[in-house]
Structure 1
Amino acid sequence: MTSTASSEPFVFAPSGSASSDSSRSSASARGSTYAAPGVPSSHQLVDQARQEITQIVREVAAATHQPRKRADYLRFLADRVLRAMAGHGVVIWTRPSSGDSNETNYVAEHRLGRVTDLALVDEAEQVHQCLLAEVATEGAPVVVPPTPGADQIDVPANPLPYPTAIVPIRIDPSSALPEGLIQVFLDEGGTAASQRGSLRFLAQMSDLAGEFLRVLRLKTLSQLLDATDRVDGVVERLHRMTSTGMIQAAWVDAAAELLRLPRVALCRVDSSQPRIVAVSHVHRIDQHSGAAKAIRAATAIDLQPQHGIWFGSCQAKSNESNPNEDASSATPFNQDQTTSSIQSSQEPSWVVAAHPDSQWRIVGFTSDEAEHLSEDIYWGTLNRLLVGGASAWTAARRIESLPGGRWFSKLFVEPDAVSSLGSAPASEPSSTSRRTRAVHSRLRKSATWMAATLAIAILVCLPMPSLVPVTGVIRPVELDSYHAASDAVVETLHVDHGQRVQRGDLLATLTSTDLQEQETSLLGRQAVLMRQQEQVNQTLMSRPSVHSRPDSVHDGREVEEEIASVERQLEIIQESKERLVLRALRNGRVDAWRLQERLANRPLRRGDPVLNVIAEDTPWVVDARIPQTRLQTVDNAWQSEQLTAEVGTAWSSQMNLAATAQRFGPIVPDPTDGTPSVVMRLGLEQSPTLGDQPLAEMPARVTLHCGRTPVGWFLVQDVVHWCQVQWGGYF
C-alpha cells in the first residue's frame, strides 16, 4: 500500500518532497485565484479553514490533558475529527484489554456519522475486519479506496462505497500491534494531496488520542495500585484481630469505605435462615425489620460467575407495597443514624460471594450520589475483601473455639483496631475515649502478663514424678544352650517348642557321615591288625624260644601298639557319636521356635545352635538400656534407694511386672538410633509368660521411677545436658 494515486490507498510518510509539492500547489493555487469584490477569495477560505482546523487541534490537545472519562473523550474526539475532515462518519476501534496481545480483532468503541461500520453485513463485515488487521499489522496510516461487493474474507478491502482513512492509535510504543484505530469515511473524488492532508491531520489526532489513553492507563494503574495497597492494609489489620465480632464490623466498614457505598451488609448463610451479622457503621441491627428481610431475601438469589467471584444483581421491593408498616420498623440500623443516610440504603442493589457454597454474602447498597470506581478497581477490591475477610474470620474462629479463646481474644485485641480501618467519622470514638481504652488495655495486658508469669513460676517449681522410660530385653538367668559337637545332620528331633523335659530326656539325635566313615575305616584296619597279630603269635609258638628271631618279636610289639591306637580312636569316635545325641541336663522347658522346620534333616556345622532349654524355676532378669542423658538421674535414685521399676512386654499396654535394680553393665549402642547407652540389670519378681509358654530374649518396655523432680528441671534437663556436653570444656 504505497501508491500515491487518488484512487489507490497509500502509506502516509511525511517527507520534504511531499511538503514542497503541497506548498507549490498551494502557492500556484493562490497565485491563479481571482476573487470578485465582496466575495471571499479562495486564499481567504483556505486561511479560514486552516484557522478552524488549528482551533480544533487546540481543543483536542486541551481536552487530552483534562480529567475526562474515556467515553466522553472519544465522543469529543470523534465529533472534532468529523467536523474538521467533513467526512461521512468516524469509527474508533479498540482492542479488548482481556484478549491476547497478538490478537488482531478490533471492536468499535465509538462511532459517529451516517456512514459507519453498522452498514457492513455478512461477508462485508469479515472483509472489513481483515482490512483492520492488515492496517494494524502494517502500523502506518493509509487511505483505502472503495471496493463495493468485496466478499473474499481473507483479502483486505474496503467494502463500502466511500474511501476510508485509517490511522493506528498507539498507547504502548513497544507493543506489536496498536491498541486502537481511527477510521474516517471520506468524500469521493479527493486528490492525493487532500488525502495526504487528511492523513496528516488524522495522524496528529491519533497521537493526541494515544497520549490521552496513555495518561488514562497510567492513572488507572496508579489508582489500582493505591486501592490494592489500601485493601492489603485492611486485610492485614483484619488478620491482626482475634475477635470474630470485631472482624465482621470492620469488614463491612472497610468494604463501604473502599467501594464508596453508603451501606454494606454482611450475611451468614450456613444455616437454614440467613442471618445479618454486620452492617457498615451500625452498632445495632433489628433482625425483624423490613430492610433486614429485604437483605435476607437478596441472599437467596442465584449467583453467576463474574470477574472471578459470584455476583448477583437484585432490587428489593419498595416499602410502598406495605403502606401500613411502621417506618421505624423498616430500618435495621441504629437509631442514632440520620434519616437521609438510612433512606438512601433501604434497597439492596447487588449481592456477591467468593463461591456458590460460601457461607458469606456481602450485600451492597448504591445511590446516585455515590462516586463510582473504575471496573478493575471495583472488582479487584471486592474480590480481595471477600477472600481476606473470610480467611481472617476463620482464623479468629479457630482461636475462639479453644478453651478460654474468647477471653484471650478480648484481652489481646488492639483498642483502636476498628477505628484504624477508616470508618465513618460519626462512629469514631473521641480522643479521650481512645486514650482511656488504650490505658485500660495496657493495664489489662500488664496484669495478665504478671499473673501468667507468676503462674508459670509456681508451675515450674511444683514437684512431679521423675519417670525414665527405656527399652530392654527379658532373659532367663539359667538357660542351657545345645550346639552341634561336630559337622552333622539332624536325624531326629524328639521335642518341640515349649515342651517340658526332665533331666536325661532325649532332645535330638544327630548323625555324622564323617564319623561313620572314620569308624568303618578303623574297624577294617583293626581286623587287619588282629590277623597280623595272630600270625605273629603262631610264628612265635611254632619255634622254640632259642631259635626265635628278634625281628619277629619287634613286629609283634608294633602290631599290638597299633591295635591299641585303633581301639583308642574307636573309643573317641564312639564318644563323639554319643555327644551327637542331645539329652536334657536339667528339668525345664524347650525354647526353640519352629524347630522341625528349621532343623529336620538339615546339615549343621560344628558349633551351630540346635535348641535351648530354660531351667525350671529359674530367675528372670531385664537388661534395660539407659541413655547417658538419664544415667545420672537413675544412679542418684538408686543410691538414695528410691529407684523402682515397672516392666511390660513390648506388645502390651500394661506394665504388670515389678523389678528391682541389681547392677550396671557395659556401654552398648542403642539398636534404634545407635546412641551409646548403659545396660542396667533388673531382677523380675515373677517370670513372664504368654499363655503357658515362657519367652526368652523378649523385648520389653521399662519405666524407672526415680522419685520426684521439679517441672522446670524436667523440661530443661535435656537442654542443660546438651550445653554441658557442647560447652562444658570452656567453663
Structure 2
Amino acid sequence: MSVNQQTVEETKAQIRGLVNEIAALAKSGATAEEFYPELLSRIITALAAAGGAIWLLDDDKQLKLQYQINAEPAILVEDTEDSVRHSRLISRVANAGQSLLVPPYSGTTDGDAQGNPTRYLLVLGALTHDGHNDGLIEVFQRPDTAPETQRGYLRFLEQMCSLAAEWLRSQKLRSLGDRQTLWQQADSFARAAHESLDLKETAYVVANEGRRLIGCDRVSVAIKKGRKCKVESISGQDTIENRSNIVAALNNLATRVCAAGEPLYHDGATEDLPPQIEEALEDYVDQSYGRNIAVLPLREPMRKLGAEEDTGAAGEIDRDNAHRGEVIGALIVEQIETDIPREIFRQRCDLVYEHGTRAIANSQSHSNLFMMPVWRSLGRATWILRARTLPKTLAVVGLVLIVALGLTFIQKDFNLSAEGTLEPTVRRQIFASVDGEVVDVLVKRNDVVKEGQLLVQLRNPDIDIQLEDLQGQISTTSAELAKVIGQQRISRREIDRADLLALQGQEGELRTKLESLGKKLELQMKRREELEVRSPINGVITTFDVENTLRSRPIMTGQVLLEVADLDQPYELKIQLPEKREGHLDQFIKQENISDELKVTYIMQLDPTMDPLEATLPIENISPRAEAHDEHGAVIEMEAIPSAESLQKMAPPPGSSVLAKIHCGRRASGFVFFHEIWEWLCKFFF
C-alpha cells in the first residue's frame, strides 16, 4: 500500500469516527449548549473546513445564530450590505429546506439582492424533519477543490444535518412535554389562586402553589398596608413569626422595592442598585443565604374607563396598562441553589405574577368592602331559611324563645359564694414572755391540757447568771450590814457621837441596798418562772407539729409558740366575701330593709358531699371595710354563728375550710346564672 493510499484510509477512518461520535451525540440527552459546539467542531474537522455556523428558525421564521466557529466577520455585523445579502441567502435556503453549494462572491443584483459575499465556498445543509424546516448548518470551505469533492462535502453535511435534525426533533418533543406539564401546573395554579376571595387564603395559595410552579426554594407574598409591606404568607410555613429578624428584613426589603415601583432581580451583583434597596437587600441576603432573589411589586390591574356598561361593575382590564396600577404588595421568589436557566426562571416568575397579582387584587377589593365579614356571615346563614330547613329553624327559634322567657320569669335563689373557716370562739395564742431557747416540748397536737399545765420549758442563761449575781450581792450586803450593827453594839459607849451617827448612816444605806437587791431578785425569779410556758385555759392543742417546730429553737419575746382552743365552747364561722360581690349584698339588705341577720348555708371542704349546714350572719358582724387578701385581692370579713346542733355531730377540727353561701333572696334565673359573665363584659368594654 502506498503512502497516499494509507493516508486516505486513515482519513476515512478518522471521518467515520467523527460521524459515529456525532451520531452518539445526537442520540444523547445533551443540552443545546453542549450539542452545538460538539457538532459543529466535528463537522469542521471532518471536512477540514475553515469555519461554520448553526442557524435556527424562530417562531417568526427568522434565522437566529446559535453557534459559530471562525465565521466570516462581514456577515456577522448587522445592517451592512454583506450581512443583509447573506441573511437573505440563508433565509431562502432554510425556508426552502434544500441544501445548497454557493460559490464565493456570488449572488443576484435585483431589488432583494442575496448571495455569498465571502471568499469561501458556502456549504449549506438544511435542517428538516417530518416536513418541518428548522434552520441550516453553514460551512465555510476552501473554494479550490474539484466539483466532485464539493458535492461530497454537501452529501456529508446533509447526513450530519439529518442526525442533527433527529436531535432537534427529540428536543422539541421534550420541550412540548415540558410545556404541556407547565401548562397543566399553570392551570392548576390559576384555579387554586382564584378559588377563594379571602386575602390570607389567596396569599397562602399563591406562595405555596407558586413555589411548585416555579420550582424554586421559597416564595413569599407581602401585602402593602399604608406605606409599609407586611409578609402575609411564606411557602411551607403555616404561621409567620413577625418578630423574627429574617421576616423583619423581608418586610423592609419588600417595602423599599414597592416604594421604588420597579422589579428587582438579584443574582449577586448590587452595583447598580439604589443605596436604600442595596442596604435592605444585603441585610436580607445575610440572613436568608439566597442566591437568586426576585422581588416583583404587585400592581392592581387598571380598568378601562367607561367599560362598566358592557362588562359590569368590575370593568374590563386595560391590557396595555395592566401593570401600571397602584402597588398593593410584592411577590418575593428565592432560590438558594439553582439549576434553572435565567430565562425559564423569569418566565415562570412572570407566570406566577400574572395570576397572583390579579387574584390578590380581587381578594383585597372583596375584603375591603364595607362590613364584608357581616355580609359574608349573613350570606352563609341564608340556608336556615330554605324550605327544607325552615321547620327546624322555627323549632330552634321557638326553643330559644322559651329558654329566654324561662330565664327571665322563673325565679331562683340568689346566693353569694364565699370561702371561710370554722374557728372556736374560745381559743388562746400563747406568746413567749421572755427571750430564751426551747429545752423541752411537753405536748403535741390534739393533746388535751388543763389550765396552768406546763407546755413548753425554756432556758435563758442570762437570767441564771443575773440570779447568781444578785444572790451574791445580797449575801455580801447582809454581811456588811451585820458587821455595822455589831460595831454599833460594841462601841456604843466607847466612840463619840459623830462616829456613831456615821455607823447609823452606813446601816441605813446597807438596808436600802439590801431591799433593792431583794426586789431585783424577786423580778428575776418571776422571769425564770416565765420560762415555764403554761396553758391559760382548759382545751386542746391546735398547733401543727409542735415538737418539731419548737424544739431547740431560739425564741424572741412576743413570739407565738402554740395555740390552745376550748372545743367544748361554741364555734364561729369566719367568712371572706370577695369585694366584687359586696354590691349585691348591700343592695339586698337595703331593698329588704334587713336589720338583724342573714341566712347562711355552708359545706365542709373536707367532705363536699355532705348535706349543707346552717348558720346566721348578724348584720353588725359584717366588716364596714375591705381587707387585703392574697388570693381574692380584697375581701369583706364576716363572722357568722353556726348551728350548734349540726356541729355537735361533725366535731370539725379548728380552722376547717368551708364553702359558704349567703342567701340574698330570689332573682330571675338568667341573672342568677349569668350575672358574673355580664359584669365581666361590662368591665372588659368599659
TM-score range, shorter chain: 0.3 to 0.5
Q: Please give the TM-score of this superposition, normalised by the length of structure 2.
A: 0.46
